[in-house]
């Protein structure tokens, strides 16, 4: 994994899609984890400050001590960390908007969580459409299909929030086999050879756990996501 930033308190890497952050009871057959790879690369213990879903790529932050992990974990829990994601969605959503739609708890069966509530909890996502494309491939009764590149900022931290929110907006994220649409996922597999969820944690902004300085760490696109951006002529849209 590409190391994006490192000092004596933390390290940030660009996690590839398909890699678990740490061991899970749901994936006992897996032998490779981001935590293990970073630990082995640095030759020291590391402590995850947050998590990214397995199919999501992007900035993944680790603390290098329990104290720094506690500070960073509290910042994530309090919502004082700014997150920016890139995604490819079906259709053409509005230029910008706010998805304010409460979400019920999605159980994480990899941890014991008896008694977790099922009542909807507040969930807010801001988004902006960066670019769109029309693909001249017939899909169902339509002669072509349209897709958009969006940037989004979750203001809350619900599990699968972005995937569920864009599905609620009827613009599901491409490659999402849980909340998405199979015919569009299949089009991207067959026509573009893209077999991943097109969701990428592009940027994290937070206060350094030791100095208190505000810092931003960005992760470039690579692999299949980068190929889609090139294929759709969206490079200018994702340029800094």
**How many other CB atoms sit within 10 Å of the CB of residue 125?**
23
CATH, residue 20: 3.30.2350.10
- The pLDDT value recorded for residue 31 is 67
- The pLDDT value recorded for residue 149 is 98
Q: Hunting for tokens 């989004």 — which residue is that?
A: 152
Give the CA-trace dihedral at 171, 177, 179, 180, to 10 degrees: 20
- The pLDDT value recorded for residue 119 is 83
Domain containing 128: what range?
A: 2-238
Taking the model in full, what pTM does it have? 0.91
Residue 25's pLDDT band (cuts 50, 70, 90): very low
Residues annotated catalytic, as ranges: 53
Render pLDDT for 9-18 as a digit per residue (tens, 0 to 9): 999 999 999 9
DSSP 217: E
Render pLDDT for 32-90 as a digit per residue (tens, 0 to 9): 889 999 999 999 999 999 989 999 999 999 999 999 999 999 999 999 999 999 999 99
**How many other CB atoms sit within 10 Å of the CB of residue 12?**
22
Share of the chain above pLDDT 70, in %: 91
Render pLDDT for 118-147 as a digit per residue (tens, 0 to 9): 789 999 999 999 999 999 998 888 899 999
- The pLDDT value recorded for residue 140 is 80
Q: Does pLDDT of 206 surpass 90? A: yes
Number of domains in the chain: 1
DSSP 91: S
Cβ burial 169-201 (10 Å sphere, 16+ → b, else e)? bebbbbbbeeebbeebbebbeeeeebebbbbbb
Q: Averaged over 213-221, what is the pLDDT? A: 97
């Amino acid at each position: 994994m590409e190391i994006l930033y490192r000092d004596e308190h933390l390290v940030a890497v660009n996690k590839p899609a398909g890699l678990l952050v740490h061991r899970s009871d749901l994936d006992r057959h897996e032998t490779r984890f981001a935590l293990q790879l970073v630990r082995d690369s640095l030759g020291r213990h590391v402590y995850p400050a947050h998590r990214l879903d397995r199919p999501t790529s992007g900035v993944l932050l680790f603390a290098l001590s329990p104290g720094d992990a506690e500070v960073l974990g509290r910042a994530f829990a309090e919502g004082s960390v700014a997150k920016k994601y890139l995604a490819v969605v079906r259709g053409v959503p509005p230029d910008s908007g706010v998805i304010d739609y409460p979400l019920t708890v999605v159980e994480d069966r990899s941890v014991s969580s008896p008694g977790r509530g099922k009542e909807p909890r507040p969930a807010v996502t801001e988004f902006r459409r960066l670019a769109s494309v029309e693909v001249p491939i017939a899909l169902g009764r339509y002669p072509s299909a349209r897709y958009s590149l969006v940037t989004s900022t979750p203001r809350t931290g619900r599990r699968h929030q972005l995937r569920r929110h864009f599905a609620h907006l009827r613009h599901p994220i491409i490659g999402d086999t849980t909340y998405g649409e199979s015919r569009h996922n299949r089009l991207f597999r067959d026509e573009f050879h893209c077999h991943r969820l097109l969701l990428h944690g592009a940027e994290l902004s937070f206060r350094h756990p030791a100095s208190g300085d505000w810092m931003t760490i960005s992760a470039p696109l690579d692999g299949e996501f980068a190929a889609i951006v090139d294929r759709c002529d969206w490079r200018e849209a994702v340029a800094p």
